[in-house]
Amino acid sequence: MPTETFEFQVEARQLLQLMIHSVYSNKDVFLRELISNASDALDKLRLEKLRDDALDADVSDLHIAIDIDKEARTLTVRDNGIGMSYEEVGRLIGTIANSGTATFLQELREAKDGAGAEGLIGQFGVGFYSGFMAADEVTLTTRRAGEDRGTRWTSRGEATYTLQSVEDAPQGTSVTLHLKPADPENQLHDYTSPWTVKEIVKRYSDFITWPIRTVPEAAEGAEAPEPETLNSMKALWARSREEVSDDEYHELYKHISHDWREPLETIRLQAEGTFEYQALLFVPAQAPHDLFTREYRRGVQLYVKRVFIMDDCEELLPPYLRFVKGVVDAQDLSLNVSREILQQDRHIRMMQRRLTKKVLSTVKDFMAKDAERYATFWREFGAVVKEGLITDSDNREAILAVASFASTRADDEPTTVAQYVERMKDGQDDIYYITGDSRQAVENSPHMEAFRDRGIEVLLLTDPVDEVWVDAVGEHAGKRLRSVTKGELDLDAEDGEQAGEEREKQAEEYAGLLGWMGERLEEDIKEVRLSTRLTVSAACVVSDAQDLTPALEHMYRAMGQ
Ligand code: ADP
Ligand code: MG
């Protein structure tokens, strides 16, 4: 087959340009990305072989090798893992599947400073392309396990890449970087130095569970030494807390989440007893772009006795904790466990309950001990966590305890519902809230006038999910959650009897006007009432207590219902 030349997809080309004119201050990370891909490929092969014994693949010495050629100035990262077919190389390496990429590139153009760009780029799987930070040409040769022929991919990171079918490729993938000319100013980035490579591997990839080997530099005149394994290969979740540095945890996080930032928190859990498992969970520092889209891949990695079983195992955490990343390693599951089994397994359900509680209690700890961390958490993930108020009735109280809301009491100091209840005035029976699109919109609502006037605190709820959970939850500590825009408000009960008499008199006085207005507006409204809620505005529209609020009506309409 002849060599075919293809054009990169537009987004891919843009990302490549970013890599080449490196937006990262730290180029070393390309090695981590290539090793991460190699490790995934080995995991996949082991698993495929486990599922299909007939697969014609050699799994006797699965490993990663790093070869350095000083003369040619090349660095090669090799694995004997699953490899890719011709079609897969074109699809996986030539395009960017991530749907958020367009949005991302847009934002990247808007983020003028380099630091902002680095933060943004971290959210996208640009792993393989990062090789172009260090190389001016990249060659990838691969053969899928079980297939005869291999494929060679080459590119200079410009508009095109070539694909070629090759005969003699070994099983797995090798990626060769033709390194950019040496920078005499910067010895640190000499990737032809085995010492440099070793340092980078130890720093970023020590926890990789496959051996990463390289041949050390030969002493003058001596024979080539034996390959050396650079990483300790110890599963971080199986080691005690004292043994592992925060940096090591963070590198594992980056490997599994494809996020380039540090996580907000690392959560360890060791469950002993009849069903033993270890979990290492991470709360990211920032919500990914696609958290609210259908494409978002949620779930943690599942291992069974140190053997990788699957990515994105959804069964271990509920959807409202879908931003949590991590690893769960169970001792007593079958290596052949399938999604169908997972969905029904009693132990899995127990694990989910335990992990959920652990995450929620971690958030509670933030709240008690680290206000800033809590604020970051809630800003990034609050809107997701609140879904749990609707879907997880078992943990409703625990979720409500860590939920905070803007309120009319203070501009920038959110409150929990429990704190609100503590502050309630004598005679106030309900927890008042208003929902809407933005803080400004709800604060300017005429419905707020009476509350402002009487100094009654109102929760300001501006996430779409707020409309739904307030109904699902209904009350807290015996106090009803009530929308200020719904139904009759008895604010005057608090104003005393005199006000009541006053109202009756007014009602008689205005009966004629109200009747007339009611007739004129018959088509559009149910009833015209005298109101005590307004102090400045002349009139406002109010829903019945059981009606949808305007924002919810809007949401359902937008959904086509
Ligand atoms: P990501 O790892 O986030 O998916 P990458 O750009 O690093 O993104 O890699 C893109 C895809 O290319 C991978 O998902 C994988 O399917 C494939 N790939 C990359 N490197 C290898 C490899 N060494 N062996 C097999 N497949 C690979
Ligand atoms: Mg990758």
Report the 3 state secondary structure along 201-258. Answer: HHHHHCCCCCCEEECCCCCCCCCCCCCEECCCCCCHHHCCHHHCCHHHHHHHHHHHHC
The rounded distance, in Å, linking the Cα atoms of 415 and 404 is 5
The rounded distance, in Å, linking the Cα atoms of 124 and 115 is 16
In this structure, are residues 486 and 435 in contact, taking their beta carbons and an 8 Å threshold?
no
Nearest CA to ligand 1 atom 17: 92
Mean pLDDT for the chain overall: 86
**Ligand 1 site-directed mutation target among 39, 79, 92, 141, most atoms within 8 Å of CB:** 92
Closest CA to 45 of 151, 144, 176, 168: 144
The rounded distance, in Å, linking the Cα atoms of 233 and 118 is 29
**Residue 301, CA distances (Å) to 126, 257, 258 in order:** 20, 10, 13
- Gyration radius of the chain's alpha carbons: 30
Sign of CA dihedral 275, 278, 284, 285: positive
- Length of the chain, in residues: 561
pLDDT single digits (tens) 58-92: 999 999 999 999 999 999 999 999 999 999 999 88
Which range, 26-35, 165-174, 238-247, 449-458, is most confident?
A: 165-174
Phi and psi torsions of 230, nearest 5°: -90, -25
In this structure, are residues 551 and 436 in contact, taking their beta carbons and an 8 Å threshold?
yes
Predicted local distance difference test score (pLDDT) of residue 203: 86
Which range, 220-224, 344-348, 429-433, is most confident?
A: 429-433
Nearest bound ligand to the CA of residue 97: 1
Task: Please name the residues in contact with 520: beta carbons below 8 A apart, sequence gap of 6 or more.
Answer: none
Task: Please name the residues in contact with 119: beta carbons below 8 A apart, sequence gap of 6 or more.
Answer: 111, 261, 286
CA 272 to centroid of ligand 1, rounded, Å? 35
> Is 522 within any annotated ligand binding site?
no
Sign of CA dihedral 521, 526, 527, 532: negative
Nearest bound ligand to the CA of residue 128: 1
Mean pLDDT for the stretch of residues 252-277: 91
**Ligand 1 site-directed mutation target among 33, 37, 130, 260, most atoms within 8 Å of CB:** 37
CA 305 to centroid of ligand 1, rounded, Å? 25
**Ligand 1 site-directed mutation target among 11, 121, 128, most atoms within 8 Å of CB:** 128
> Could you say which DSSP state residue 93 is in?
I
CA 40 to centroid of ligand 2, rounded, Å? 8
Report the 3 state secondary structure along 113-152. Answer: CHHHHHHHHCCCCCCHHHHHHCEEEEEEEEECCCCCCEEE
Q: Two tokens at 522?
A: 């018959």
The rounded distance, in Å, linking the Cα atoms of 82 and 42 is 6
**Ligand 1 site-directed mutation target among 11, 15, 40, most atoms within 8 Å of CB:** 40
Residues with CB under 6 A from ligand 1: 33, 37-38, 41, 79, 81-84, 92-93, 125, 127-128, 173, 258
In this structure, are residues 460 and 410 in contact, taking their beta carbons and an 8 Å threshold?
no
CA 509 to centroid of ligand 2, rounded, Å? 75
pLDDT single digits (tens) 149-165: 999 999 999 989 999 99
Describe the crossing of helices 346-369 and 371-385 by its angle, rounded to 10 degrees.
Answer: 140
Whether the per-residue pLDDT at 489 is higher than 80: the answer is: no
> Is 339 within any annotated ligand binding site?
yes
pLDDT classification of 23: cutoffs 50, 70, 90: low
Predicted local distance difference test score (pLDDT) of residue 321: 98
Q: Two tokens at 151?
A: 């494929």
CA 519 to chain CA centroid, nearest Å: 54
Q: What pairing do the DSSP bridges indicate for beta strands 277-283 and 325-330?
A: antiparallel
Predicted local distance difference test score (pLDDT) of residue 264: 97
Strand order in the sheet with 64-69: 4-7, 160-166, 150-155, 135-143, 172-179, 74-79, 64-69, 212-214, 228-229
CA 369 to centroid of ligand 2, rounded, Å? 36
Whether the per-residue pLDDT at 524 is higher than 80: the answer is: no
Q: Two tokens at 361?
A: 């209690």
pTM: 0.76
Using the atom order of ligand 1, give the atom closest to the CA of residue 44. Answer: 25
Alpha helices (H) along 52-100: 86-88, 94
In this structure, are residues 199 and 190 in contact, taking their beta carbons and an 8 Å threshold?
no
> Is 100 within any annotated ligand binding site?
yes
Mean pLDDT for the stretch of residues 386-396: 96
ipTM of the complex: 0.99
The rounded distance, in Å, linking the Cα atoms of 284 and 267 is 11
> Is 84 within any annotated ligand binding site?
yes
Annotate 243-258 with b (16+ C-beta within 10 A) or e (fewer). Answer: ebeeebbbbbbbbbbb
CA 36 to centroid of ligand 1, rounded, Å? 9
The rounded distance, in Å, linking the Cα atoms of 178 and 139 is 8
Predicted local distance difference test score (pLDDT) of residue 22: 63
Closest CA to 407 of 432, 444, 383, 429: 432
> Is 123 within any annotated ligand binding site?
yes
- Least confident range of 256-260, 274-278, 381-385, 400-404: 256-260
Closest CA to 318 of 351, 272, 366: 351
> Is 186 within any annotated ligand binding site?
no
Using the atom order of ligand 1, give the atom closest to the CA of residue 36. Answer: 2
The rounded distance, in Å, linking the Cα atoms of 295 and 36 is 22
pLDDT single digits (tens) 109-126: 676 555 566 655 555 556
The rounded distance, in Å, linking the Cα atoms of 17 and 157 is 7
Nearest CA to ligand 1 atom 18: 37
Provide the percentage of residues in the chain whose pLDDT is more than 90.
55
Alpha helices (H) along 58-113: 86-88, 94, 101-110
The rounded distance, in Å, linking the Cα atoms of 263 and 260 is 9
Predicted local distance difference test score (pLDDT) of residue 294: 83
Local structure of 393: helix, strand or coil:
helix
Nearest CA to ligand 1 atom 21: 37
Nearest CA to ligand 1 atom 7: 127
pLDDT classification of 560: cutoffs 50, 70, 90: very low
Nearest CA to ligand 1 atom 11: 92
Predicted local distance difference test score (pLDDT) of residue 81: 98
Nearest CA to ligand 1 atom 27: 37
Task: Please name the residues in contact with 91: beta carbons below 8 A apart, sequence gap of 6 or more.
Answer: none
Predicted local distance difference test score (pLDDT) of residue 544: 65
Closest CA to 136 of 121, 124, 154, 116: 154
pLDDT classification of 415: cutoffs 50, 70, 90: very high
Predicted local distance difference test score (pLDDT) of residue 561: 42
> Is 173 within any annotated ligand binding site?
yes
- Pick 225 or 399 by higher pLDDT: 399
pLDDT single digits (tens) 295-352: 888 999 999 888 888 889 999 999 999 999 999 999 888 877 888 888 888 889 999 9
In this structure, are residues 95 and 66 in contact, taking their beta carbons and an 8 Å threshold?
no
Predicted local distance difference test score (pLDDT) of residue 543: 67
